[in-house]
């Protein structure tokens, strides 16, 4: 069966060609982990060679695993194209083929060679300050560079397009939430932990925690014992079989693996100082179920895409949103086993530090990685990680203090669904022209107890899909308010009847997928809904208490 690109992959390639037709600079394509970046690269090469058969293309990256993955996808899409590999780690030095895949470590001194276009996989490794191997090699090697990454920013430098950055534009056609909603990515769920790594004495250098300090202060036997016990018990309770653990150093990873193994769960550590054969053997054991837990430091943040990772444990604190996103990205692949999501246990406070994965903010240039306060907090009863604005824990029903809103339940955790609840005290209805089209539209303005004003739009006069959606929304609202339709009634009169009804007690808003500073009203709850939710909260509280007794021994 011929390989077929997905719709968003085709759209990304079309947008890339369109951008290059209109601009002279270097574009950066942003694709979430699991979106099929290698296939998009292959699709772009295919179309380029069809349009310009004599084009010489170089695909550049930093890991042999990525070289193999990118070359394999191109061969699947274009089995007849001649491919060269230039990488010492793969024992190959071929430069004469139309398409060459190379490691930057092997090729960066060959600055006299020329290509028509160079594609850089994991291009966030390129320094904005015009230094390093990538910048040295790319300076005189080609006319056009195209970057591909899931995280288009660097610590202490902001976006890759900032300052003296190599790239002049970002192309992003799909988000993590889009891919999850389309069924292409698994969801993440998070639990806080009873054991906490004490990061209070750690210092920053270049915006990140100092590696030697982390190893010295966090690799403590008693803490390692407690963490290992909690990992094993949580894995048993949630039925997790492939656990990836990120540690604070090579010795830390070794010690955690030894303790977990000593407690009866098969575990091994892996690091870059091992031989290629040893690393491949350990990865084979992990992916074939011979070992359950695999510890590492930063070795498996990119290029390792085993889909059935169903539990990620973070024992390494980081100020880098890129590293945080890459680690969580290991759990986004669709699972083939019983678990359809990936559980995240955060012992290092990274979820609170950076917020939900779907809304991770890049570091500013001079913030040393401190991108502001992350919109998360932890429930003291069951340790679920929830949005900072939540008044009730979605897992156990715990009511957070200084807030009397005891009515709503969400799972807005590390995945980043972006849901927030507000108590509503009034609503105002009106008909106003759209700023974009000038066409009249119905607007409902919600006033909430926390001082917010949220608006919902019904474009009932629109002849297309937006109009159909608006009319369906009004029909559904009338059903909730128990209003019957009057065939002789115009929209103005109907709006008057709706506005005279009691407003909802609760509205639920969600961050806009493209404009994160805006929130859309996605649900409303009236008083009868509240009672059902409070009953559910009571039951979840009982389940959480049982969880403490049976699993964590608390």
Q: What is the 3-state secondary structure (H, E, C) of 506-530?
A: EEEEEECCCCCCCEEEEEEECHHHH
Q: Domain check: are 428 and 474 in the same one? A: yes
Q: Domain check: are 204 and 174 in the same one? A: no
Q: Domain check: are 194 and 173 in the same one? A: no
pLDDT at 406: 32
Q: Domain check: are 309 and 435 in the same one? A: no
Residue 28 belongs to a domain with what CATH number?
A: 3.40.50.300
The answer to the question of residue 386 being in a domain is: no
The answer to the question of residue 383 being in a domain is: no
The answer to the question of residue 159 being in a domain is: yes
Q: Domain check: are 29 and 79 in the same one? A: yes
Q: Domain check: are 193 and 156 in the same one? A: no
The answer to the question of residue 24 being in a domain is: yes
Go through 499-532 and write b for each residue having 16 or more CB atoms within 10 A of its CB, e for each that does not. eebebbbbbbbbbebeeeeebbbeebbeeebbee
- The CA distance from 207 to 188, in Å, is 27
- The CA distance from 510 to 449, in Å, is 17
- The CA distance from 153 to 369, in Å, is 11
Domain count, the chain: 3
- The CA distance from 374 to 190, in Å, is 15
Range of the domain at 225: 186-374
pLDDT at 410: 35
pLDDT at 378: 61
Give the residue from 163, 179, 195 where a domain finishes. 179
Q: Domain check: are 165 and 190 in the same one? A: no
The answer to the question of residue 382 being in a domain is: no
The answer to the question of residue 197 being in a domain is: yes
pLDDT at 127: 82
The answer to the question of residue 380 being in a domain is: no
Q: Domain check: are 473 and 506 in the same one? A: yes
pTM of the model: 0.65
Taking only the tens of pLDDT, the chain with its 554 residues reads 567 899 999 999 999 999 999 888 899 999 988 888 999 999 999 999 999 999 999 999 988 888 988 898 899 888 888 899 988 888 888 888 889 999 989 888 887 778 899 999 998 888 877 778 888 888 877 778 999 998 888 777 778 888 778 898 889 888 888 888 889 999 998 876 888 898 888 888 878 899 999 999 999 999 999 999 999 999 998 899 999 999 999 999 999 999 999 999 999 999 988 888 999 999 999 999 999 999 998 888 776 778 999 999 999 999 888 889 889 999 999 998 888 899 999 999 888 788 778 767 666 554 433 333 344 566 666 566 665 556 676 666 666 654 333 333 333 356 656 667 788 888 999 998 888 788 899 999 998 887 778 889 999 998 877 888 888 889 889 988 989 888 788 898 999 999 999 999 888 887 765 555 567 888 888 877 777 766 766 666 676 667 666 666 55
The answer to the question of residue 160 being in a domain is: yes
Give the residue from 128, 149, 179 where a domain finishes. 179
Q: Domain check: are 169 and 196 in the same one? A: no
How many Å is the Cα radius of gyration of the chain?
A: 26
* Nearest C-alpha neighbor of 362 from the set 308, 317, 322: 322
Q: Domain check: are 25 and 168 in the same one? A: yes
Q: Domain check: are 143 and 21 in the same one? A: yes
Give the residue from 374, 406, 433 where a domain finishes. 374
Q: Domain check: are 326 and 233 in the same one? A: yes
Collapsing DSSP to helix, strand or coil, 308 comes out as: coil
């Amino acid at each position: 069966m011929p390989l077929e690109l997905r719709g968003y992959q085709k759209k990304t390639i079309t947008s890339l060609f369109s951008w290059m037709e209109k601009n002279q600079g270097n574009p950066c394509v942003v694709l979430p982990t699991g979106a099929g970046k290698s296939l998009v690269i292959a699709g772009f090469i295919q179309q380029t060679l069809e349009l310009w058969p004599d084009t010489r293309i170089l695909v550049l990256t930093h890991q042999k695993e990525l070289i193999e993955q990118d070359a394999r996808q191109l061969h699947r899409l274009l089995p007849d194209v001649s491919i060269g590999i230039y990488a010492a780690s793969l024992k190959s030095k071929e430069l004469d083929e139309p398409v060459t895949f190379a490691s930057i470590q092997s090729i960066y001194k060959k600055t006299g060679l020329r290509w028509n276009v160079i594609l850089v996989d994991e291009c966030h490794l390129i320094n904005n300050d015009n230094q390093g191997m990538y910048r040295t090699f790319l300076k005189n090697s080609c006319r056009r560079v195209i970057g591909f990454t899931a995280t288009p920013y660097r610590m202490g430098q902001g976006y890759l397009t900032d300052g003296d950055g190599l790239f002049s534009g970002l192309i992003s056609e799909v988000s993590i939430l889009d891919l999850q909603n389309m069924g292409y990515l698994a969801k993440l769920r998070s639990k806080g932990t009873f054991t906490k790594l004490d990061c209070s004495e750690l210092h920053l250098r270049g915006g990140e925690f100092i590696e030697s300090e982390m190893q010295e202060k966090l690799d403590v036997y008693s803490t390692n014992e407690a963490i290992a016990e909690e990992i094993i018990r949580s894995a048993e309770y949630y039925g997790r079989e492939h656990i990836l653990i990120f540690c604070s150093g090579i010795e830390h990873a070794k010690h955690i693996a030894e303790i977990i193994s000593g407690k009866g769960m098969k575990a091994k550590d892996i690091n870059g100082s091992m031989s290629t054969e040893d690393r491949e053997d350990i990865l084979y054991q992990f992916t074939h179920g011979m070992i359950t837990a695999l510890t590492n430091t930063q070795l498996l943040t990119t290029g390792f895409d085993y889909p059935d990772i169903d539990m990620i444990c973070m024992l390494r604190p980081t100020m880098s949103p890129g590293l945080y996103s890459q680690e969580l990205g290991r759990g986004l692949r669709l699972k083939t086993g019983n678990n359809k999501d990936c559980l995240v246990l955060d012992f290092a406070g990274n979820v609170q530090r950076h917020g939900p994965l779907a809304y991770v903010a890049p570091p500013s240039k001079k913030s040393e990685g401190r991108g502001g306060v992350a919109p998360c907090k932890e429930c003291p009863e069951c340790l679920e990680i929830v949005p900072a604005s939540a008044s009730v824990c979605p897992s156990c029903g715990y009511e957070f203090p200084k807030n009397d809103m005891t009515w709503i339940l969400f799972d807005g955790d590390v995945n980043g669904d972006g849901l927030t609840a507000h108590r509503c005290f009034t609503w105002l209805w009106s008909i106003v022209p759209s700023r974009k089209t000038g066409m009249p539209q119905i607007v409902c303005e919600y006033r909430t107890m926390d001082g917010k004003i949220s608006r919902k739009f019904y474009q009932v006069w629109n002849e297309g899909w937006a109009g159909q959606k608006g009319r369906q929304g009004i029909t559904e609202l009338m059903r909730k308010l128990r209003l019957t339709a009057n065939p002789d009634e115009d929209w103005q009169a109907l709006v008057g009847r709706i506005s005279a009804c009691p407003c909802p007690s609760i509205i639920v808003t969600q961050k806009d997928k493209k404009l994160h500073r805006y929130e859309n009203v996605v649900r409303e709850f009236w008083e009868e809904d509240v009672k059902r939710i409070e009953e559910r909260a009571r039951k979840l509280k009982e389940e959480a208490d049982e969880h403490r007794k049976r699993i964590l021994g608390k």
